[in-house]
């Protein structure tokens, strides 16, 4: 992806210069760019990519909402992001949830999830719960197994967000309990592979919080099998791997993986 992105962005910009109606292509290209840069922990570049996506989306509420999903990922550590995300969410929200189309509900719900995770990182447990409850209501109407506007939004995704929120508040036991329930859902297997692997990294953190390095290693190895680069290349994956490997009770296999990556 890193090798392909420069030519992709050049091509879509040229297309957009010839055809101003091709704004959707620009938004999608910069969404992909921002998502990748977030994974690589390049926050400044990711913000620039999101800004380009938002500019290309101007005037189209659906495209603005699409770009805002990545904005939430980039600004998750900023309390100010919550108001931006909520504004985008309620702009796309249907007047009647029961009558909303799955595409609109998916975008709105995904933005509510991002806003909830911002609240969780800021320590606002009450707002986190309220936003996830609202997202869950929309998710129930969308169902699992869809990926409208590349959101992967559905009931299972909301449950994984509840798990991530518990990790943020350092409640490993609650996160583990939610994880065990979520992976029993049929929707778990329908989520994109990278989504599942990223979640397992969160769960590994939860097991460390619960002082269970053996289980932390097990789910981290599961994540590595699902999507190796989520563990091997993403800074968050490498950080968790290093933490697990340093524990004297961790299995030898996790130590060997960390050693091969130069983490210990």
Domain ranges (residues) in the chain: 1-74, 76-169, 192-264
Q: What is the DSSP string of 18-72?
A: H-GGGHHHHHHHHHHHHHHHHHTT-HHHHHHHHHHHHHHHTT-HHHHHHHHHHHH
Q: What is the mean pLDDT of residues 206-213?
A: 95
pLDDT digits (tens, 9 = 90+) for 43-89: 889 999 999 999 999 888 899 999 988 888 887 766 677 888 898 89
Rounded distance, CA 174 to CA 259, Å?
31
Confidence at residue 96, expressed as pLDDT on a 0 to 100 scale: 83
Mean predicted confidence (pLDDT) in 161-183: 96
Token pair 């929200």 is found at 93
Residues in contact with 46: Cβ distance below 8 Å, sequence separation at least 6, in sequence order: 33, 34, 37, 38, 70, 73, 74
Band (256; pLDDT cuts 50, 70, 90): very high
In whole angstroms, give the CA distance from residue 164 to residue 53: 26
Q: How many other CB atoms are there within 10 angstroms of residue 233's CB atom?
A: 13
pTM score, two decimals?
0.88
Both structure tokens of 236: 């968050």
Q: What sign does the dihedral 200-201-204-209 (CA atoms) show?
A: negative
């Amino acid at each position: 992806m890193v090798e392909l992105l420069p030519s992709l962005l050049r091509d879509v910009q040229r297309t957009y210069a010839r055809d101003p109606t091709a704004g959707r292509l620009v938004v999608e290209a910069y969404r992909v760019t921002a998502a990748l840069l977030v994974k690589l922990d390049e926050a400044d570049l990711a913000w620039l990519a999101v800004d380009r996506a938002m500019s290309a989306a101007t005037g189209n509420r659906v495209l603005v909402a699409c770009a805002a999903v990545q904005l939430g990922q980039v600004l998750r550590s900023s309390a100010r992001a919550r108001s931006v995300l909520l504004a985008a969410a309620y702009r796309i929200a249907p007047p009647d949830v029961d009558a909303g189309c799955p595409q609109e509900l998916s975008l709105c719900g995904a933005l509510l999830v991002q806003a909830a995770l911002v609240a969780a990182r800021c320590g606002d447990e009450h707002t986190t719960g309220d936003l996830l409850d609202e997202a869950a209501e929309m998710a129930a109407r969308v169902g699992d197994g869809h990926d409208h506007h590349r959101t992967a939004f559905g009931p299972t995704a909301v449950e994984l967000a509840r798990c991530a929120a518990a990790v943020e508040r350092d409640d490993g036991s609650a996160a583990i309990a939610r994880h065990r329930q979520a992976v029993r859902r049929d929707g778990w297997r329908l989520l994109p592979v990278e989504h599942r692997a990223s979640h397992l990294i969160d769960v590994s953190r939860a097991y460390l919080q619960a002082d269970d390095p053996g289980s932390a290693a097990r789910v981290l190895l599961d994540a590595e099998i699902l999507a190796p680069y989520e563990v091997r290349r993403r800074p968050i994956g490498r950080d968790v791997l290093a933490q697990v490997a340093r524990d004297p009770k961790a299995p030898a296999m996790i130590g060997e993986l960390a050693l091969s990556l130069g983490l210990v």
